[in-house]
Amino acid sequence: MKRVREGTRVFAATLFATLREIFDEAAYARFLSRAGTVSSRAEYAAFRREFEDAKVRRPKCC
Partner 1 sequence: MNKTLAILGWGTVAVLGAVAVGAVAVRRGEPINALWLVVAATCCYALGYRFYSKFIATRILALDGLRATPAERLENGRDFLVTNKWVVFGHHFAAIAGPGPLVGPVLAAQFGYLPGTMWVLAGAVFAGCVQDFVILLFSVRRDGKSLTEMAKDEIGRVGGFVAYVAVIAILIILLGVAALIVVNALKASPWGTFTIAMTMPIALLMGVYLRRIRPGKVLEVSGLGFVLVLAAIWGGQYVSQNAALARMFTFSAPTLAILIMIYGFAASALPVWLLLAPRDYLSTFVKLGTIALLGVGIVALHPTLHMPALTRFVDGTGPVFAGKIFPFAFITIACGAISGFHALISSGTTPKLIARETETRMVGYGAMMCESAVAVMAIIAACVMQPGIYFAINSPAAIVGQAPATAAATISSWGFPVTAADMQALAHAVGEQTLYNRTGGAPAFAVGMAHIFSHSLGGETLMALWYHFAIMFEALFILTILDAGTRVARFMVQDALGHVYEPLGRTSWYPSILATSGLIVAAWGYFLWQGVKDPLGGINSLWPLFGIANQLLATVALCVATTIIIKTDRIKHRAKYAAVTLVPLAWLVAVTFTASWHKMFDPNPRVGFLAQARALSAGPATGVTGRLIFNNRLDAAVTGILVVMVTLVLVESLRQWWGILSGAREARVKESPFVRTRLVEEQG
CB 43, CB 35: distance < 8 Å? yes
Q: Indicate whether 6 belongs to the interface with partner 1 (CB under 8 A).
A: no
Residue 1: CB minimum distance to partner 1, A: 24
Cβ at position 36, least distance to partner 1 in Å: 12
Measured distance CA(24)–CA(52) in Å, rounded: 11
- Rounded to whole angstroms, the Cα distance separating 37 from 7 reads 34
Nearer to partner 1, 1 or 22 (CB): 22
Residue choice 8, 12, 18, 37 for contact with partner 1 (CB under 8 A): 18
